[in-house]
């Protein structure tokens, strides 16, 4: 699906300021003997101490061994970084920005081979990359390939030809708290790409905007033979394609949890599931997600080959509201008819353009739908509902104009959900269920948020003259 770019990209200076304000210091190494430093006024003939730092990160990349930590002082470093050594279990090698300082790996004029990264972890294990800015790469920003036990945390990537961050043929990968902006100025991959990767977590990342004059790609893709992964707490917005994409392609993708993600203002699908080339998409669970102001909240796709098998997919306790661009869009859209055991439960689909929940009749025998709330226009041919659904009843959100899709106290979604397979917490991390109606019964709510009775302090009941003393 081709769309025109959306909003202009946030400036590099602002991104740097935000990173400097919000960075959490990297972990303190176990032994001070293993700490080295790089600074813009250093020399590679120095011993790499804080008083006599090295000049280049490349020098460190050839020197560090298991258990070592490198702190990089503020500045621009126009170089490609390729660590030569791996860490070991309990003794990772850490590359980190010096606490409170902005460190930029600058790719302008730097040769980055095809399928390589400006910061390239290929073939390395037990590495931690923390708090860096990696910008203007001619291919990937940060890449792990044939790697294991890698942590990529609190970095910013900007203006990369392909993915800002990617993992290929790897395992035990954590991608945590990064900001990926303006990736995919070329035609390949996604802002964050996780391919053929096992035992991974992609969490708390902020993915947004394309470079001016470029099309961009999906915000995030979990794809190919990836397995046993979690995707949670991510914020994806203002892109031209799918926000979060789970695609088996031609492989067997299985056991993926997608939860507590916020996706909005996508000129495409907020979430999408696919098997583009006939691979089995199996045991994928989406819950406690919120999607608004996209073309469709979640789309179960038939792209792109004739065969696209799905098995054991669950969509539970999500909120898909105010999706639709122009005259068409929806909350939950099912295009694929080649599926086995699809569960749609406790979701809110509210005020989406054209349809709330739509599927061809031929697939409904494999759909178990119940206790959803559907409010708004209905597709005259494909709209469907399930047992216990609330239809044409307002969800009574707190303030959808500001993106607040919590429930008002009078919402009919409170205590109207089903307990079966419902998540134990909600989007905010509040426990489920709670006694939202105050009638002594703790029943599950519909949607991504469980209604929590506000706690009123004792002072609220005191007379004004006593309260203000």
Same domain for 229 and 254?
Answer: no
What residues contact 177, with CB distance under 8 A and at least 6 apart? Answer: 153, 154, 203, 204, 205
Predicted local confidence at residue 464, as pLDDT = 57
Of 198, 233, 268, which one is at a domain's C-terminal end?
233
Q: Is residue 258 domain-resident?
A: yes
Of 183, 199, 233, which one is at a domain's C-terminal end?
233
Same domain for 229 and 302?
Answer: no
Reported residue count of the chain is: 469
Predicted local confidence at residue 440, as pLDDT = 83
Q: Is residue 217 domain-resident?
A: no
Q: Is residue 358 domain-resident?
A: yes
Contact in structure between 404 and 398 (CB atoms under 8 Å) = yes
Same domain for 273 and 296?
Answer: yes
Nearest Cα residue to 319 out of 385, 373, 361, 242: 373
Same domain for 229 and 246?
Answer: no
Same domain for 229 and 341?
Answer: no
Same domain for 124 and 254?
Answer: no
Same domain for 309 and 228?
Answer: no
d(CA 45, CA 42): 9
pLDDT tens, the chain, 469 aa long: 333 333 333 333 333 333 333 444 444 444 445 999 999 999 999 999 999 999 999 999 999 999 999 999 999 999 999 999 999 999 999 999 999 999 999 999 999 999 999 999 999 999 999 999 999 999 999 999 999 999 999 999 999 999 999 999 999 999 999 999 999 999 999 999 999 999 999 999 999 999 999 999 999 999 999 999 999 999 999 999 999 999 999 999 999 999 999 999 999 999 999 999 999 999 999 999 999 999 999 999 999 888 999 999 999 999 999 999 999 999 999 999 999 999 999 999 999 999 999 999 999 999 999 999 999 999 999 999 999 999 999 999 999 999 999 999 999 999 999 999 999 999 999 999 998 877 888 899 999 999 998 876 555 555 655 545 5
Where in the sequence is the domain holding 342, given as residue range(s)? Answer: 242-469
Q: Domain holding 113: CATH number?
A: 2.160.20.10
Contact in structure between 367 and 314 (CB atoms under 8 Å) = no
Q: Is residue 218 domain-resident?
A: no
Q: Is residue 216 domain-resident?
A: no
3-state secondary structure labels for all residues of the chain: CCCCCCCCCCCHHHHHHHHHHHCCCCCCCCCHHHEEEECCCCCCCCCCCCCCCECCHHHHHHHCCCCCEEEECCEEECCCECCCCCCECCECEEEEECCCCCEEEECCCCCCCCCCEEEECCCCEEEEEECCEEEEECCEEEEEECCEEEEEECCEEEEECCCCEEEEEEEEEEEECCEEECCCCCCCCCCEEEEEEEEEEEECCEEECCCCCCCCCCCEEEECCCEEEEEECCEEEEECCCCEEEECCCCCEEEEEEECCEEEEECCEEEEEECCCCCCEEEEEEECCEEECCCEEEEECCCCCCCCCEEEEEEECCEEECCCECCECEEEEECCCCEEEEEEECCEEECCCCEEEECCHHHHHHEEEECCEEECCCCCCCECCCECCEECCCCCEEEHHHCEEEECCCCCCCCCCCCCCCCCECCCCCECCECCCCCCCCECCCCCCCCCCCCCCHHHHCCHHHHCC
Strands 367-370, 397-399: parallel, antiparallel or unpaired by DSSP? unpaired
Same domain for 293 and 173?
Answer: no
CA 48 to each of CA 45, 62, 70, 73: distance values in angstroms, whole numbers, following the listed order = 8, 12, 9, 12
Same domain for 454 and 348?
Answer: yes
User: How many domains does the chain fold into?
Assistant: 2
Of 201, 233, 265, which one is at a domain's C-terminal end?
233
Q: Is residue 200 domain-resident?
A: yes
Residue 89's CB is within 10 A of a number of other CB atoms, namely 9
What residues contact 114, with CB distance under 8 A and at least 6 apart? Answer: 139
CA 22 to each of CA 134, 206, 285: distance values in angstroms, whole numbers, following the listed order = 17, 13, 32
d(CA 407, CA 253): 35
Q: Is residue 389 domain-resident?
A: yes
Same domain for 181 and 272?
Answer: no
Same domain for 191 and 229?
Answer: yes
Same domain for 227 and 334?
Answer: no
Tokens of 437: 């109606």
Predicted local confidence at residue 29, as pLDDT = 44
Query: Is the pTM for the entire model greater than 0.75?
Result: yes
Q: Is residue 207 domain-resident?
A: yes
């Amino acid at each position: 699906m081709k769309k025109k770019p959306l909003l202009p990209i946030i400036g590099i200076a602002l991104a740097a300021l935000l990173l400097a304000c919000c960075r959490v210091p990297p972990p303190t190494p176990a032994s001070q003997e293993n700490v080295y430093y790089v600074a813009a006024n250093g020399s590679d003939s120095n011993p790499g101490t804080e008083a006599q730092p090295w000049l280049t990160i490349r020098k460190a990349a050839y020197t560090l061994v298991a258990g070592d930590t490198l702190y990089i002082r503020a500045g621009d470093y126009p170089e490609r970084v390729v660590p030569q050594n791996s860490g070991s279990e309990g003794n990772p090698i850490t590359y980190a920005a010096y606490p409170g300082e902005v460190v930029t790996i600058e790719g302008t004029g730097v040769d980055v081979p095809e399928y390589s990264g400006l910061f390239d972890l290929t073939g390395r294990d037990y590495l931690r990359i923390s708090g860096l800015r990696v910008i203007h790469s001619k291919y990937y920003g940060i890449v792990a390939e044939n790697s294991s036990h890698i942590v990529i945390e609190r970095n910013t990537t900007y203006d990369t030809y392909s993915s800002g961050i990617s993992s290929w043929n790897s395992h035990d990968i954590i991608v945590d708290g990064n900001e990926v902006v303006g990736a995919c100025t070329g035609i390949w991959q996604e802002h964050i790409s996780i391919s053929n990767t096992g035992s991974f977590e992609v969490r708390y990342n902020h993915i947004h905007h394309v470079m001016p004059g470029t099309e961009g790609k999906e915000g995030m893709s979990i794809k190919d033979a990836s397995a046993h992964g979690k995707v949670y707490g991510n914020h994806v917005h203002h892109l031209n394609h799918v926000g979060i994409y789970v695609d088996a392609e031609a492989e067997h993708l299985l056991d993926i949890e997608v939860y507590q993600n916020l996706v909005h203002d996508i000129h495409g699908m907020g979430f999408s599931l696919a098997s583009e080339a006939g691979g089995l998409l199996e045991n994928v669970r989406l819950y406690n997600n919120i999607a608004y102001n996209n073309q469709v909240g979640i789309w179960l796709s038939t792209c792109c080959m004739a065969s696209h098998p799905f098995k054991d997919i669950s969509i539970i306790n999500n909120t898909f509201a105010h999706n639709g661009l122009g005259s068409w869009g929806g909350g939950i859209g099912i295009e694929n008819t080649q599926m086995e055991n699809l569960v749609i439960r406790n979701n809110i689909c509210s005020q989406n353009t054209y349809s709330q929940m739509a599927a061809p009749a031929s697939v409904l025998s494999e759909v178990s739908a119940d206790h959803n709330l559907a409010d708004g226009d209905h597709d005259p041919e494909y709209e469907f509902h399930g047992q216990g659904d609330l239809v044409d009843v307002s969800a009574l959100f707190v303030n959808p104009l500001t993106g607040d899709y919590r429930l008002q106290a009078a919402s009919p979604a409170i205590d109207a959900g089903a307990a079966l397979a419902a998540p134990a917490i909600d989007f905010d991390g509040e426990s489920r269920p709670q006694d939202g109606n105050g009638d002594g019964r703790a029943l599950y709510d519909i949607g991504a948020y469980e209604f929590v009775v506000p706690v009123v302090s004792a002072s609220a009941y005191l007379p004004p003259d006593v309260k203000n003393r």
